[in-house]
Chains A and B, each alone.
Chain A
Amino acid sequence: MEKFQTLHTTGRPLPLENIDTDQIIPARFLKATTREGFGENLFCDWRYNADGSPKPGFVLNDSRYRGSILVAGKNFGCGSSREHAAWALYDAGFRAVISSYFADIFRGNALNTGLLPLQVSDEVLARLLAAIEADPQLELVVDLPSQTLAVPAWSETFSFAIDGYKKECLINGYDDIDFLVNQKSAIEAFEKQRAWTW
């Protein structure tokens, strides 16, 4: 997993609520057996017509928006547990998603992919969406060590929550496998002391 420290970029607005992982990456694209290449089908059915031509008006087809933060409506990533949704966002160049609410499994998958799920209040989200639509060049600065999102144009900084362990993992590019494999002796001891007879 790549290290994540800071992000200095612009946002791409997708002001819809309850964006599910079937929209992020439809199931018919889950036949691949590797992690790479899902980005071209990210938001496929919103992004392309049936003949493969881009749908004008969809944010990923709008040349005004080029940043690596997706700013989306609340309850982002609900539905299926497919990690392919996080891989597709990452593969398409996104490094963070800002929303006012994330579905649990998506949040975990994003953190395991190196994609930062950055939760803000409904009010801040609404302000961000409006401001980015008014000015696609609105600068956003994410600083993971200090857990802040800064909007220099507003002279405002918002703090966000993240689990301390997951924060360290992201900053250092570690993942849970390394940690869990190192717990092997504790896990084996746990197995031995269990009362299960069936």
Chain B
Amino acid sequence: MSRTLFDKIWDAHVVRSVEGLDVVYIDRHLIHEVTSPQAFDELAARNLPLFRPSQILATADHNVPTLHQDQPIREPLSRLQVEKLTENCEKYGIELYGLGHQRQGIVHVIGPELGLTQPGLTMVCGDSHTSTHGAFGAVAFGIGTSQVAQVMASQCLLLSRPKRMRISVEGELRPGVTAKDLILYVIAQLGTGGATGHFVEYAGSAVRSLSMEGRMTVCNMSIEMGARGGLIAPDATTFAYVEGRPFAPKGEAWHDAVAYWQTLYSDDDATFETEYTYQAADITPMITYGTNPGMGIPLTGHVPSEVPASEAESFDKSLKYMGFERGESLLGKQIDYVFIGSCTNSRIEDLRAVAAYVQGKQKANHVEAIIVPGSKQVEHQAIAEGIDKIFAAAGFELREPGCSACLAMNEDKIPAGAYCVATSNRNFEGRQGPGSRTLLASPLVAAITAVQGRIVDITQYLN
């Protein structure tokens, strides 16, 4: 029977089915300091052992400072939470790449770079951006803390099978248009709840031609249109990225693995409940103007002037928060901060793209520009390639790895009223700090904005 890529992987992980629900086996469980403490407490309260500690990997990312990581965390509650993670990992025998470890970083950056993320796996984490790992052809999705405890106790979850959606983007992306623009464009078409209840497969020649970093950016933002997760069929690009990484299969096992991975694609006549096709040529550099990721427009476009009556109250509240008007262009708007980082865009390719543009240039005087690498490895690689010096000369501050100003739970925050062009994934009210105003964009758009100090049509400024 013809099956989708998603169904092939899901079916291979069903332990048994009960009353329309599947007991789904989870291969890899990633944990971090914020959504795990209550799950560990749950196990302790029920006197349950941790079922498969070797299938869990922990890191500290959300709550960590991005300066002076060699020193104790100053904020007491953040420190306590990170210490709690260390205690729990020691108690239960879980591998922890904590603060100061050479493999520490944002959970969705280190999984792939260590080769833990592989095609055909099921992966979960108490974080909605777990969909990132779908870039490798894995079924990966975010879960709540009760489910974190369930996986700790049983290595399984009780789930209903989501619907399938395929989003194809065909053709070649234009100059200056990146994976980030592609996914912001798709989310703007579907809206912030447009894929709820679905698992999305991204397909088409424009998606196939993306690097692994680009594919991760696309899959990362699946949740921003409500999708349970997103994935891309593995191919030669995937295998080349995984090969040789610390946790990748080696020797004979590598060949067996690749042979299996090559069977992971949607059959020609597989059925998707919902399908959309877009043309790459229609996509231009994007930016968001509102307070959810679906409120995106081309950089040269205008804020919508008309919305359905039922959405008007939310829409106008959003524009008021952002300080924008219906129908206006964002071109020329002055920007205060540029944040380059987060699980969406903090990989070496993102940093290289920024460096390639800012080399020999200076950020605008009034802009504060910070670059937060996704992991210790990305940081080291940037230094090895001399990118750190390019950033320093251009006035961009390169920090140490963490989630940073994406979510304002650590020390990195954007002040109330300030405008920040960010490469992260959410522009919700207060996401980067109470009153902060976030405009989501690609690393290239962020870099050019930092140099120009205002929103411009970047196609006029490409190197």
Please indicate whether A and B come from the same complex rather than being unrelated chains.
yes
A187–B48 touching, CB < 8 Å: no
Binds A, one of B36-44, B279-287, B346-354: B36-44
Q: Which one of A23, A176, A181 has the greatest number of beta carbons of chain B within 10 Å? A: A176
B150 within 8 A of A: yes
Set B84, B143, B313, B428: member contacting A105, Cβ < 8 A: B143
Chain B residues lying within 8 Å of A104, measured Cβ to Cβ, are 162, 196-197, 226, 228
B154–A184 touching, CB < 8 Å: yes
C-alpha spacing A81/B84, complex, angstroms: 21
C-alpha spacing A122/B46, complex, angstroms: 41
A50–B434 touching, CB < 8 Å: yes
A81–B142 touching, CB < 8 Å: yes
The closest CB in chain B to the CB of A17 belongs to B314
B270 within 8 A of A: no
Residue interface mask A31-70, B partner, CB < 8 A = 1: 1111100000000010000100000000000000000000
C-alpha spacing A104/B194, complex, angstroms: 12
Given A17-B314, A28-B409, A31-B77: A181 and B154 interface contact (C-beta under 8 Å): yes
A179–B158 touching, CB < 8 Å: yes
Counted as pairs of residues, one from A and one from B, with CB atoms less than 8 Å apart, the total is 191
Residue interface mask B379-417, A partner, CB < 8 A = 1: 000000000000000000000000000011100000010
List residues of A (1-51) whose CB comes within 8 Å of B's CBs.
15-18, 20, 22-23, 26-28, 30-35, 45, 50
A83–B156 touching, CB < 8 Å: no
A109–B144 touching, CB < 8 Å: yes
Chain B residues lying within 8 Å of A32, measured Cβ to Cβ, are 77
Chain B residues lying within 8 Å of A179, measured Cβ to Cβ, are 158
A180 within 8 A of B: yes
B156–A33 touching, CB < 8 Å: no
C-alpha spacing A15/B315, complex, angstroms: 12
C-alpha spacing A198/B258, complex, angstroms: 11
B189 within 8 A of A: no
List residues of A (164-191) whose CB comes within 8 Å of B's CBs.
164-165, 175-177, 179-181, 183-184, 186-187, 190-191
A80 within 8 A of B: yes
B256–A180 touching, CB < 8 Å: no
C-alpha spacing A39/B52, complex, angstroms: 34
A83–B146 touching, CB < 8 Å: yes
Chain B residues lying within 8 Å of A75, measured Cβ to Cβ, are 192-193, 196, 226
Query: Separation in Å of the B306 CB from the closest CB of chain A?
Result: 16
A175–B146 touching, CB < 8 Å: yes
Query: Separation in Å of the B135 CB from the closest CB of chain A?
Result: 19
A180–B226 touching, CB < 8 Å: no
Given A31-B409, A33-B81, A79-B426: A86 and B144 interface contact (C-beta under 8 Å): yes
A103 within 8 A of B: yes
B331 within 8 A of A: no
The closest CB in chain B to the CB of A75 belongs to B193
Set B25, B155, B409: member contacting A30, Cβ < 8 A: B409
A78 within 8 A of B: yes
Chain A residues lying within 8 Å of B146, measured Cβ to Cβ, are 83, 109, 112-113, 175-177
A136 within 8 A of B: no
27 contacts between A and B (CB under 8 A): A17-B310, A17-B314, A18-B193, A30-B62, A31-B81, A33-B37, A35-B38, A73-B314, A79-B128, A80-B407, A81-B127, A83-B144, A108-B143, A108-B147, A109-B145, A109-B146, A112-B147, A180-B157, A181-B48, A183-B16, A184-B154, A186-B16, A187-B156, A197-B253, A197-B256, A198-B118, A198-B249
Known: A18-B314, A164-B20, A176-B157. 11 other contacts (CB 8 A): A17-B314, A22-B429, A45-B430, A78-B193, A79-B426, A103-B226, A105-B143, A181-B153, A181-B154, A191-B25, A195-B260
Nearest 8 CB-CB pairs, A to B?
A: A198-B249, A83-B144, A112-B146, A75-B193, A180-B154, A109-B144, A33-B37, A31-B77
